[in-house]
Structure 1
């Protein structure tokens, strides 16, 4: 998957500014694909050059004109083509998991501290996903159903991570107890 396809997914139903898209990345598609404002604006420029999106200027008082982007037929065709292809397996890049793998060279208390920080972030993300899922009032619409299914995956992922963290916490505390009792 590329940022291109994530942007086209967001533009499939309505036009949006770069700012609107960045906000959607923070609140919805960001569950599965992260992008910075700069990356989004760069990709919008590339999509425009390839005629996959078009934009219109909206004048604003005291600010630069806003560009409202919409998907074109070429963009919709590209999105459909991509949707019909099998997805590649996800690549995981998790620095904390590498720290756990190398944990024998660390001390359990420092891993526990970082685990708690990570768990706080995961609980916050879980609460956000659950709030977003509750706000989807009409799951009968196609868009909301697919958004809900994506949110459910995010919810289950966060719950599984927090369950795993509890196992790690228990094991590391047990190890600490063994070390202090010797």
Structure 2
């Protein structure tokens, strides 16, 4: 009995946008992944937010999202570059090649209209719970295991480190103000307003942490004084 030929697999090409939109075959039918914004991880929206402010290379993005300037979201090269490729596949990001002498072409990434819409929709999706992974707070939870003198030293070192961070962040604030070409604080409609707000948060939170460390020190000093009087 003759076998009927299998029907050709149908592939649909996504409509063109301002950038290169690739297609991905899923279960026999190509699909534009930008139709599934829920698949974008949070780090993807962080990248879109940065590209909404200015076009960037992957290297520039890695500087923005790496220490010591990672005020919003920390990420490494190995995370950023594959995600840029994914966002390009989804039609949310596009890039242009810039020739370089003696080097591979440099890719300059920018956000597309589709990416801007996805970013705006994500921003509207509130409220957002805070995630917490605070290593030193975990140490504070077990600080009672140390003699008061050692606990005070640990807190002194943490305060010194935090003060150095504040000085560094103030320098970043000055750099951002110079790049913006406007006096800080910028107006809310400025694309630099979010940068300013996050740097200010980094400063204010560290200032509060120093006050918190000092309050814990006060408690340990009081305990040490009581212990000293009891020995007399």
Measured against the shorter chain, the TM-score band is 0.7 to 0.9
* Contact 1:8–1:79 under 8 Å retained in 2: yes
Q: Secondary structure at the match of 2:159?
A: helix
The answer to whether the Cα contact below 8 Å between 1:16 and 1:69 also exists between their aligned partners in 2 is yes
Q: Does 1:76 align with 2:116?
A: yes
Look up the SS of the partner of 2:129 in the other structure.
coil
Question: CA separation of 1:61/1:111 partners in 2, compared to 1, >3 Å: closer, same or farther?
Answer: farther
Instruction: Note if contact 2:152-2:220 (Cα within 8 Å) is conserved in structure 1.
Output: yes
Distance apart, 1:67 and its partner CA = 1.4
TM-score by length of 1: 0.86
CA contact (8 A) 2:97 2:105 kept: yes
Q: In structure 2, what is the equivalent of residue 107 of structure 1?
A: 147
Indicate the residue corresponding to 1:142 in structure 2. 190
C-alpha change, 1:12 and 1:27, in structure 2 (3 Å) is: farther
TM-score of the two chains, using structure 2 as the length reference: 0.69
1:100–1:111 contact (8 Å) kept in structure 2: no
Give the paired residue count: 182
Residue 57 of structure 1: aligned partner: 97
Question: Rg bigger for which structure?
Answer: 2
121-130 vs 154-163, greater mean Cα deviation:
121-130
Answer 1 or 2: which has greater helix percent: 1
The alpha carbon displacement at 1:161 in A equals: 0.4
Select 2:202's aligned residue among 134, 151, 154. 154
Among 17, 33, 43, which residue is 2:83 paired with? 43
Is 1:91 matched with 2:91? no
Change (3 A) 1:112 1:49: farther
Q: 1:42 to 1:121 in 2, by over 3 A?
A: farther
